[in-house]
Structure 1
Amino acid sequence: MTQQFPDHAAAAAAPGQRLVGAEEEPDEQTIESALRPKALGDFVGQPRVRQQLSLVLEASKLRGRSADHILLSGPPGLGKTTLAMIVAEEMGAPLRISSGPAIQHSGDLAAILSSLTPGEVLFLDEIHRMSRPAEEMLYMAMEDFRVDIVVGKGAGATSIPLELPPFTLVAATTRAGLLPGPLRDRFGFTGHLEFYDVAELELVLRRSAGLLDLPISTEGFTEIASRSRGTPRIANRLLRRVRDWALVHDVGHIDARSCAAALDMYEVDARGLDRLDRSVLEALVHKFGGGPVGLSTLAIAVGEETETVETVAEPYLVREGLIGRTPRGRIALPAAWDHLGLAAPEG
């Protein structure tokens, strides 16, 4: 009997979708939410952050008070939003979700803060993109649970103090260095999330496969994990694409060969590189002899915007030791030549 897979997505990825991008696609949000762990004990990876956060939450519950404000930093897709939801769940408190780009005026922040209930958890994603006036209002709200609302303009303006109920702010950022010192100092706990290793990603995939009722071998989990760039969100996305491939090809039990065939079809190679990544590497090696070459010239060679190459492809290639950044431009490192099946030139 053919194994049926519930709630399957479309068999092919949407045109232009980047399977190894850590940003969350709108049509993936419902499935991502279903796969998120609901308790700290179910959260896989980040052992140091989990241990420290567990202590913070347990101490606050013993004191009978709201937890200290929490700042979570790290690359996208590692679980910052999930941890914010877990904090609210562990504290038995409601969760309010907003983001830095959505708060462009101090009045926007005042409206959110004034509607909070005692003990509520406020999650602000990408807090580094909040406007400066709202940021300064947040200082007082975090420290004194009070904000000053300015009514009127000019000489007739008056300041009305507004008391706020105790609340816990959980903030997430992918660029902690952009946060001003006074804001960082007001967080009682700061946790930095690191990339996952293959073994941890296999645990994430096993849990997700169980929730999706997806039969897959141990070797299959390893194959997917090794192509997931150390990011759980990417791992879950690739798992769903493997599920789609297995459904269309009528595969009952998925092994490593099936996983490799599915991901090769989606142009995700054994090291997790996609079409854009390989285009950058091939241009650097074949057209420029390994470099050095300027970023704008490299971007033109692959037909992409400079910002796309610098922010989308380059971080992973640098982290994997495939390319290097020098004052004279980008260069291909020996690992890049090896990945393309070529011999690196002498010197």
Structure 2
Amino acid sequence: MSGELSAQASASEQGYEGALRPTSLAEFVGQSKVRRQLGLLLDAATMRRHTPDHILLAGPPGLGKTTLSMIVASELDKPLHQTSGPAIQHAGDLAAVLSALTPGEVLFIDEIHRMARSAEEMLYLAMEDFKVDIMVGKGAGATSVPLELSPFTLVGATTRAGLLPNPLRDRFGFTAHLEFYSDDELSQVVSRASGLIEFSLSESGVDEIARRSRGTPRIANRLLRRVRDYGLVHDLPGDASTVQAALALYDVDDHGLDRLDREVLRAVVERFNGGPVGLSTLAVSVGEESETIEAVVEPFLVRTGLLSRTPRGRVATRLGWEHVGVEPPTAP
């Protein structure tokens, strides 16, 4: 009996997760300019009865690139095939995916900048002419056989658009640059999600979660679920005090910094007198990998003005000193 209840709870939770994703541009919160541009592109393609131009979605993680790809397929009323750049390590992998597409299908490639170079070169021809050349045989007897493809729309997502080669980037008819959300937009995200997971939040509770979500809807939804769990276990209402207590338990402070963020900032201020300090030295001092500091921690600290990157290393700003609670040194 307990197993059946557990399975039902798990299925219910998965249902909530799926329900948090908007299914149309009208439901999608934020990115107003991108929504208008994308809506025009899809409406025009529908009126012309043609497949839309290929779409590139660029921006930091958690801003809705995958959700927008699903919305594109939903708005076109076409199936969606999802894959990722790291999964396509050979031209044959891409050929297998492309040859299986049905007419008008939407192909979503996440982290498209991590595809193998040979697959990228095959993708050039597929995006322009909807065909690929398959090599049959080996050595001097190898021959190239053209394979016609059904018309499709490619939606590529990347967190590092600068790593895409120019020939691939130029073949996208529309490039959308997703930006971080404002607190007001995140409040709308949290309010909508709280209704979907059936957890009542006060306006102050909604704003408290939004303020700590680092401009990212994915983080807002994650914090909302942790607050819901805390309120459920302790039988507390979803007000600001419950949000503060729950996020204090999970080491998320008023500015959205977590334990590792504060460790890095405190190390720069207290161990290295505000910097400059090199990335590898800083990583060793907090016991983390350099890649984690550079890709996960540093972007948010720099964006919020707590840390600065200089040619000599990382330097704590005046705001960074104040956040740690240490008086910054007086400039000579």
TM-score (norm 2): 0.95
- 2:30 is the alignment partner of 1:49: no
Which structure is higher in RCO with an 8 Å CA cutoff and minimum separation 6?
A: 1
| Whole-Å separation in 2 of the counterparts to 1:146 and 1:323 | 49
Is the CA contact 1:72–1:191 (under 8 Å) kept in the aligned structure 2? yes
Deviation track 1:259-290 (CA, whole Å, cap 9, x = no partner) reads 01100110000000000000011111111111
**Pairing partner for 1:116 from 101, 110, 135:** 101
**Pairing partner for 1:333 from 292, 317, 327:** 317
Is the CA contact 1:39–1:86 (under 8 Å) kept in the aligned structure 2? yes
Q: Report how many aligned residue pairs link the two structures.
A: 322
SS in 1 for 2:134: strand
**Pairing partner for 1:185 from 170, 177, 193:** 170
| Whole-Å separation in 2 of the counterparts to 1:181 and 1:87 | 24
**Pairing partner for 2:69 from 60, 78, 84:** 84
The aligned runs of 1:249-260 (5 Å cut-off) are 249-251=234-236, 253-260=237-244
- 2:271 is the alignment partner of 1:280: no
**Pairing partner for 1:161 from 119, 142, 146:** 146
The aligned runs of 1:73-222 (5 Å cut-off) are 73-222=58-207
Deviation track 1:184-231 (CA, whole Å, cap 9, x = no partner) reads 111111100000010000000111011011111001011000110000
The amino acid of 2:316's aligned partner reads A
Structure 2 stretches lacking a partner, 5+ long: 1-7
| Whole-Å separation in 2 of the counterparts to 1:136 and 1:32 | 36
1:342 offset after TM fit, Å?
A: 2.2
Considering fraction of residues, name the structure with more helix. 2
Structure 1 stretches lacking a partner, 5+ long: 1-6, 10-27
1:297 offset after TM fit, Å?
A: 1.5
| Whole-Å separation in 1 of the counterparts to 2:270 and 2:326 | 10
| Whole-Å separation in 2 of the counterparts to 1:309 and 1:64 | 48
Give 2:3's aligned residue: none
The amino acid of 1:211's aligned partner reads L
| Whole-Å separation in 1 of the counterparts to 2:290 and 2:82 | 33
The amino acid of 2:317's aligned partner reads L
1:80 offset after TM fit, Å?
A: 0.3
| Whole-Å separation in 2 of the counterparts to 1:89 and 1:57 | 11
| Whole-Å separation in 1 of the counterparts to 2:39 and 2:249 | 41
1:243 offset after TM fit, Å?
A: 0.2
- 2:223 is the alignment partner of 1:233: no
| Whole-Å separation in 1 of the counterparts to 2:97 and 2:251 | 43
The amino acid of 2:302's aligned partner reads V
Q: Tell me: CA distance 1:199–1:177, structure 2 relative to 1, closer, same or farther (3 Å).
A: same
SS in 1 for 2:26: helix
Deviation track 1:230-249 (CA, whole Å, cap 9, x = no partner) reads 00000000000000000110
The amino acid of 1:110's aligned partner reads A
**Pairing partner for 1:271 from 215, 230, 255:** 255
CA RMSD of aligned residues (A): 1.3
1:341 offset after TM fit, Å?
A: 2.1
| Whole-Å separation in 1 of the counterparts to 2:303 and 2:18 | 29
Identity rate, percent: 67
Deviating 4+ runs (over 2 angstroms) = 28-34
SS in 2 for 1:206: helix
- 2:58 is the alignment partner of 1:69: no
1:140 offset after TM fit, Å?
A: 0.5
Give 2:284's aligned residue: 300
- 2:307 is the alignment partner of 1:323: yes
SS in 2 for 1:42: coil
| Whole-Å separation in 1 of the counterparts to 2:290 and 2:53 | 41
SS in 2 for 1:98: strand
TM-score (norm 1): 0.91
Give 2:4's aligned residue: none
Is the CA contact 1:8–1:244 (under 8 Å) kept in the aligned structure 2? no
Is the CA contact 1:8–1:243 (under 8 Å) kept in the aligned structure 2? no
Is the CA contact 2:62–2:217 (under 8 Å) kept in the aligned structure 1? yes
SS in 2 for 1:71: strand
Give 2:228's aligned residue: 243
Is the CA contact 2:62–2:219 (under 8 Å) kept in the aligned structure 1? yes
1:8 offset after TM fit, Å?
A: 7.4
1:29 offset after TM fit, Å?
A: 7.4
